Structure 1
Amino acid sequence: MLHAHRPELVLSTASVGKLLLLLQVARSVPLDLPCDRRDVEPVADSGLWQHLSTDVLPAGDLAVLVASVSDNLATNVLLRHAGLDRVAALAGSLGLTATALHDVVRDVRTAAHPPRLSSGSAEELSLLLHRLPDLDGGPQVLRWLGTSADLSMVASAFDLDPLSHAGVVLRNKTGTDEGVRADVGVVTGPAGPVSYAVLANWPPEVATVGEVLATMRALGDAIRGVVGN
């Protein structure tokens, strides 16, 4: 272990919980299954599908949208086919007790809904990324994660083009919300792979986003020093 700071702490992880959805999709949903966005309520914020003209895409394409730009609409459509209950059962079967996807993505989260989209611990998430190559559906999820365009956190240290990675091999999933930044992944360089999970939850009076991102990049610099350039 390179570094650990309260790795057992359960924190809000925003869109990182979509990683469990991707694994369930890889295991149980035909990737050529036509999926219609009109089957769910519209949802905004992150994503590209809301800006495209087509209403129907295959499940495999939706998984790419979730992995690359954390597409909220694609997430909810995939959840309709994969099942939130089955995603929860998958987490349990993997021995995850702190890490979960609690709900669909919502534009407005009220007291009637789960208080956060997902939660997890750095300990469980880093181990999950380490285990992915050997899990049923894991290699497919890693291929999807290779399209991630969010390199703003830990991954900023690797100096990759967000739209065309060249250099170290990076597979990561991020999550962003007010007072939440999370980046989990596995990076492979000449010296080998390192799996990581960096989760930050903070009230606004404690730190700025810039300070949090600077700390996350510093941890990425340490990882880069281990895997090599």
Structure 2
Amino acid sequence: MTESVDIRLHVRDIDGDGETGSGADDQVVIASILKVLLVLEFARQAAAGQLDPAERVVVRAADRLGGWGLAGCADDVEVSLRDLAYFALSVSDNTAADVLLRRVGADVLPLLAAELGLARTRIRGGPRQVLESMFADVGARDAAEFAAVYPGLPDGRRRALRVFDPAHTTSSTPRDITRLMALIARDEAGPPEACALVRRLMGTQMAWTRLRAAFPAEVAVTGKTGTLPGLHMEAGIVARPDGRRCAVAAFAATPTWDSRRLDVDLALGRAVREAVEKLHGPL
């Protein structure tokens, strides 16, 4: 394992009672893994006829947040709600997630978490609230000012940002997150069509250097990453060719602030594979 990487993880048998992990009940920042819960709520509302997934919205300059996807568009973009869900899970699009969250209602996500028995999951807003807390904590007025100020901050000041503290940002535990993944896998997190949509969209995720890189091609891996400086994470579903399935969640923290650490991504994936093989035997 990469030196100085602290990994907390949990793996559970989706169709049985087996489980294994380390730090499975520790409170951890979940960052963009929250988007799974968001898209699940969207899919449930669509299945119930509470919204039309083909409904169109216009994403304007004021809606754009940092990251991939719609944030990089120079012009207004008209897109459907279901395509916002696609972008949120496929490329972890913060703008798409924020616009979708406004449509489904930010206040319903804590209720959904409680309904699903995610007792340790704490939701404190969506991507916009995360960014706004980061700006406020360094005294920046906008993303450009934050980008100029943040690299020069001493380590202690960086670590004091609320976004890195599970007590002050959206957080959960590895065990709660594998429960969510298992419920989605078993069609128990909502109507079967809603769960199937979430699984399909998780399967379109472009990031591959964490969970997917750790398993051979014949193992089906669907997942959702989360990333912040010094934090690498992913949750998902691992399905072996013999039909055995695991829900997995892993959270890696490093003492450095570079989020482009392939070695950390690979270490996280290896730790999950070792746990899966401990539970279900060698692949």
TM-score range, shorter chain: 0.7 to 0.9
Alpha-carbon deviations, 1:114-138, whole Å to 9, x = none? 9335311100101110111222122
Q: Is the 8 A contact 1:182 1:199 kept in 2?
A: yes
1:153 maps onto 2:210 in alignment: yes
CA contact (8 A) 1:13 1:181 kept: no
> Deviation at 1:193?
1.1
Corresponding position of 2:112 = 90
Contact 1:44 1:72 in 2 (8 A): yes
Runs of 5+ in structure 1 lacking a partner? 161-166
| Inter-partner Cα distance in structure 2 for 1:227 and 1:184 | 20
- 1:51 is displaced (CA, Å) by 3.5
Partner of residue 69 from structure 2, selected from 48, 67, 92: 48
Q: Give the match's secondary structure for 1:3.
A: strand
Larger Rg belongs to: 2
The answer for the alignment partner of 1:204 in structure 2 is 256
Runs of 4+ in 1 over 6 A off after TM superposition: none
Q: Which residue of 2 aligns with 1:66?
A: 88
**Equivalent residue, structure 1, for 2:150:** none
Q: Distance in 1 between matches of 2:227 and 2:25?
A: 20
CA RMSD of aligned residues (A): 2.7
Determine helix, strand or coil for the equivalent of 2:225. Answer: strand
1:8 paired with 2:25, answer yes
Q: Measure the CA separation in 2 of the matches of 1:4 and 1:220.
A: 9
Question: Which residue of structure 2 lines up, in the alignment, with residue 216 of structure 1?
Answer: 268
**Cα–Cα, structure 1 residues 39 and 210, in superposed 2: closer, same or farther, change >3 Å?**
closer
Contact (CA 8 Å) 1:155, 1:220: kept in 2 or not?
A: no
SS of equivalent to 2:26: coil
Separation (CA, whole Å) in 2 of partners of 1:87 and 1:217:
28
The equivalent of 1:115 in structure 2 is 162
Q: Structure 1 residue 70: deviation in Å?
A: 0.4
192-201 vs 69-78, which moves further: 192-201
- Whole-Å separation in 2 of the counterparts to 1:202 and 1:83: 34
Amino acid in the other structure paired with 2:219 = V
Q: In the alignment, is residue 130 of structure 1 matched against residue 130 of structure 2?
A: no
Structure 2 Cα separation of the partners of residues 12 and 143 of structure 1:
25
Q: In structure 2, how many angstroms separate the alpha carbons of the residues matched to 1:75 and 1:82?
A: 10
Query: How much does 1:150 deviate?
Result: 1.0
Question: Runs of 5+ in structure 2 lacking a partner?
Answer: 1-17, 46-50, 140-160, 164-168
Q: 2:195 & 2:79 partners in 1: Cα distance? A: 22
Q: Secondary structure at the match of 2:249?
A: strand
- The 3-state SS of whatever aligns with 1:15 is helix
For residues 14-70 of structure 1, the C-alpha deviation after alignment (integer angstroms, 9 at most, x for no partner) is 11111110111111242111122128532122x222334561111111111111100
Percent of paired sites with the same residue? 24
CA contact (8 A) 1:188 1:227 kept: no
CA shift in 2, pair 1:223/1:188, >3 Å: farther
Structure 1 pair 85–22 and aligned structure 2 pair: CA distance change class (3 A) = same
Q: Deviations for 1:181-229, whole angstroms, at most 9, x for unmatched residues? A: 1110001121221110111234339xx9455334312124336754876
1:185 aligns with 2:260: no
- Determine the structure 1 residue equivalent to 2:56: 34
Q: What's the counterpart of residue 11 of structure 2? A: none
Q: State the TM-score, normalizing by the size of structure 2.
A: 0.69
